[in-house]
A and B are shown apart, each in its own frame.
Chain A
Amino acid sequence: MPDVDQNQAQASLTPAAAEGAVLVEAKDLAIQFGGLRAVDGMSLSLHRGEMLGLIGPNGAGKTTLFNLIAGNLRPTEGRILIGGRDVSAEGADQRIACGVGRTFQIPRPFSEMTVLENVLTGRQDQAGERIWMNFLQGARVAREERQAVGKARALLDFVTLSHLENEPARVLSGGQRKLLELARILMAEPTAILLDEPAAGVNPTLLEVIIERIRRLNADGKSIFLIEHNMEMVARLCSRVVVMAAGRHLTEGTPRDVARDPAVIEAYLGTAA
C-alpha cells in the first residue's frame, strides 16, 4: 500500500454520503477481452453527494470499470443503473443526459480548438447544434451562445485557466489539460463526475488546486467518483474507498481502514511480500 503512514489526515465524512440515495449502481459487472476478464463480477454504488474513491494496483480494472460505467464499453455481464434506470445498453453519448460525466486518465482535449471552445463544447441542449436553428432562429442561438460564453469563462476562472482562453488546447501542460477537462465536463452540469486519476503527472502546486476544486464541487452537491493512486489525496477527499484487485471488489471502507487491511496490502505487494 503506498504512503500509508502519510495518510493520517482524517477522512472527512461528508454528511450527505451516509444516507444519500444511490445515484449510480453497478451490479455484477463483467467484461471479457479475449481470455481476460478485466472486470469480473464487480458491484458498487455511488451515493448522491458522496465522494467515493476507487483504488487498486495497476491492472486491477479500475479504468475499465470507469469505461463501463461511462458507457464507453458494453458489459459482457451485469447491469449499470443510473438513478434506478438500467442504462447498460446505452452509448457513452447518452450518459451526460443521465447526469453522469467523466474525465480521462490521459486527458483528451480538442487540441486545435481554443481552451474556451473546448469548454463551450460541453454545453448541453444548444439550439445552435441543430442545423436549421442557425438559419431560422439566429437570435436565439446567439443569445444562448452569449450565456454559454459567460458560464464557460466562469468555469475557466474556477479552474484557473482564464488567461489561456484563446490559446489552442494543445499548448496546455498535462496538469492544465486535466483542469480543462474538468471545466469542460462541468459545463455539461453533471450531478455525478467520474474522475480518472486527476492527480497523475500533476505538479504539487497544481495538485493543490485540483484537490481544492474537487472538494468545492463536492461541497456544492456534486457526487464524485475518483480513481486515484495518490493515497494521500484519496484520504483527504474521500469518505469511502472501494478497493479493486484482479477485476473484483476486494473490500471497501474508510481510507484509513482500507489502508490497514491486510488483504489490500497483499493485493498491492503480492503474496511474496
Chain B
Amino acid sequence: MSVELIAYGCFFLTVALTYAIMCLGLNLQWGQTGLFNVGIAGFVAIGAYVSALLTTPDTAGRLGGFGLPMAVGWLGGALAAALVSYLVGRLTIRLRADYLAIATFGIAAAVQLCALNLEPVTGGPFGIGFIPRPFAAEAGNPLLFSLLNLALLVIVVLLLYLGLERLVRSPWGRVLRAIREDETAALALGKSATRFRLQAFAIGGGIMGLAGAAQAHFIGFIAPENYLPMLTFQVWAMLIVGGSGNNRGAILGAVLVWGIWAVSAALIAAVFDPAQQARAASLQIAIIGVAICAVLLLRPQGILGEIRTISRHLPSRAGKAQTAESRPE
C-alpha cells in the first residue's frame, strides 16, 4: 500500500473521529437523556472558535489570539461550549422536546451568524486561519504526521468513551434513563429531572465543543460556513445509523457515515464534469438521507442498537442482553 493511501486513511479516520466525539456528546444528550438537540453545529462552533482564539498568535484587527498552548485551547473550547450549554439549558431545559429542538436550532443559527458578523472576534466570513496543528513539527513527513494525529484522536475518543461508559453505567446514568422513560415517575422517586437534564446537556455540549476544537486544530482553519445546519444533520445521521443509546454505536456511526460522505464526494467528482459538480454535491445529502431511511426501515435501533445498560456494579449477565426493539420515541 502506498504511503499516500495510508496517510489518506489516517486523515479520513482522524476527521471521522472528530465527528465521533460530537456523536458521543449527542448520545449523552439524546441517547441517554432524550434531549432533542438540533443545534449541534452551534456548540461545535463555540468550541472551535474559542480554541482558535486562545491558541492562534496575536492578529491585527482581531481579538487575540493569545498564543496559548493547544491543550488550553481544547479545554477552553470544551468549557466554553459546556458553559453556553448550561446557560441555554437553564432557559430551555423545561421545554418540551419539540420546543427544545426549536430553541437549540435558533441558538445554533445565532452562533453561526455571530461567527459571520462579529469580525473583530471571529474574523467574519474569512474565518480564522493559522490555527496551530498538533505535531506541526512533523508536517514534513506526511505519514508520521497523519499517524500521530490519528493516535491523538484515538486517545481522546478512547478516554471519552471510557469516561462516558463509566457514567452511563453508574447510578447517575440510571437516573438519566429513568427521566427519559418517565419524568413523572422519576420525580416521585425524588430525582430532580431539571438538574440531571441540565448536567447531561452541559456535558454533552462540552463534548461537542471539544470536537469543534479538535477539528479546528486538525484542519488548521475555520470559517462560519463549516457550522451550518448541515453539520447537525450529519451528526444526527451518524447517531441514528450507529445506534442511539450506545456509545460504540455512536463511534461506529460516525466512521460509517463519514465514509459514505467521503466516498460519495469522490464518486461525484469522478462522474460529473466540473461545471455540474457544485450542484451534484447535493447528491451527498440525498445519499445520507437514503442511508438513514434504509437503517430506520431495516434496523430501527441502528446498527448496534441500544445496549440495556445496567449498573456496572452488577453481575455482567444482566448487562449483556440487547434490546430487541427500538425505543418508542
Contacts and interface: CB of A to CB of B under 8 A. Distances in A.
Interface of A: 70-72, 91-97, 101-102, 104, 108-114, 116-117, 120-124, 126-131, 134-135, 141-142, 145-146, 149, 165-166, 168, 184-185, 188
Contacts, number: 118
Given A113-B181, A166-B321, A93 B192 contact: yes
A24 B283 CA distance: 65
A131 B313 contact: no
B170 A96 contact: no
B166 A121 contact: no
Contact of A185 (B189, B192, B311, B321): B189
Contacts of A166: 317-318, 321
Contacts of A145: 171, 311, 313-314
A139 B166 CA distance: 13
Interface stretch (B78-86, B172-180, B273-281): B172-180
A102 B188 CA distance: 7
Contacts of A121: 174-175, 178, 186, 189, 191
A166 B199 CA distance: 28
B192 A114 contact: no
A110 B172 contact: no
B199 to A, nearest CB: 6
A111 B171 contact: no
Interface of B: 163, 166-167, 170-172, 174-175, 177-178, 181-182, 184-193, 199, 203, 306, 308, 310-311, 313-314, 317-318, 321, 323, 327
A104 B193 contact: no
A101 B199 CA distance: 25
Contacts of A142: 313
B166 A93 contact: no
A235 B261 CA distance: 69
A111 B308 CA distance: 11
Given A72-B187, A93-B193, A110-B186, 8 more contacts: A93-B186, A93-B191, A95-B188, A110-B185, A123-B171, A128-B170, A166-B317, A168-B323
B313 A124 contact: no
A131 B206 CA distance: 15
Which 10 residue pairs of A and B lie closest in terms of their CB atoms, listed nearest first? A128-B171, A96-B190, A145-B313, A108-B185, A110-B181, A92-B187, A134-B170, A93-B187, A126-B171, A93-B192
